[in-house]
Structure 1
Amino acid sequence: MGTLFMAQFMGALYGLLSVIFGAFGAHALKKRLTPELLQSFETGVKYQMYHAIVLLVLGFNLSFDQPLDSWIVNCFIFGTLLFSFSIYALCLGAAKGNKPKFLGPVTPLGGLLLTAGWALLLYSFVSNLV
Structure 2
Amino acid sequence: MNRGLFLLACVSGFLAVAFGAFGAHGLKQLVSAEMLGVFRLAVEYQFYHTFALMAVALAKPWVDSPLLNWAARLFIAGMLLFCGSLYALVLTGHKWLGPITPLGGMCLLAGWLLLAAGVWRSRGAQ
State the TM-score bracket (shorter-chain normalisation): 0.7 to 0.9
* Cα root mean square deviation, aligned: 2.0
TM-score, scaled relative to structure 1:
0.85
- Residue in 1 aligned with 2:27? 29
Choose from 2, 15, 18 the match for 1:17.
15
Choose from 37, 40, 56 the match for 1:39.
37
Instruction: Give the conservation status (yes or no) of the 8 Å contact 2:65–2:118.
Output: no
TM-score, scaled relative to structure 2:
0.87
Deviations 1:37-59 (CA, angstroms, capped at 9, x unpaired): 00000000000011111111221
- Residue in 1 aligned with 2:88? 89
- Residue in 1 aligned with 2:100? 106
- Residue in 2 aligned with 1:124? 118
Unmatched tracts of structure 2, length 5 or more: none
Deviations 1:11-52 (CA, angstroms, capped at 9, x unpaired): 111100000000000001011111110000000000001111
Three-state SS of the structure 1 residue aligned to 2:27 is: coil
Following the alignment from structure 1 to structure 2, what is the Cα–Cα distance between the partners of residues 67 and 128?
Answer: 9
Number of residue pairs aligned between Structure 1 and Structure 2: 122
1:73 has 2:72 as partner: yes
Deviations 1:68-106 (CA, angstroms, capped at 9, x unpaired): 111011011111111101100001112xxxx151x2221
Following the alignment from structure 1 to structure 2, what is the Cα–Cα distance between the partners of residues 111 and 42?
Answer: 16
- The AA in structure 1 aligned to 2:59 is N
What percentage of residue pairs aligned between the two structures are identical? Answer: 41
- The AA in structure 1 aligned to 2:88 is A
Instruction: Give the conservation status (yes or no) of the 8 Å contact 2:43–2:83.
Output: yes
Higher deviation after alignment, 22-31 or 3-12? 3-12
Structure-2 change in CA distance of 1:60 and 1:125 (3 Å): closer
- The AA in structure 2 aligned to 1:116 is A
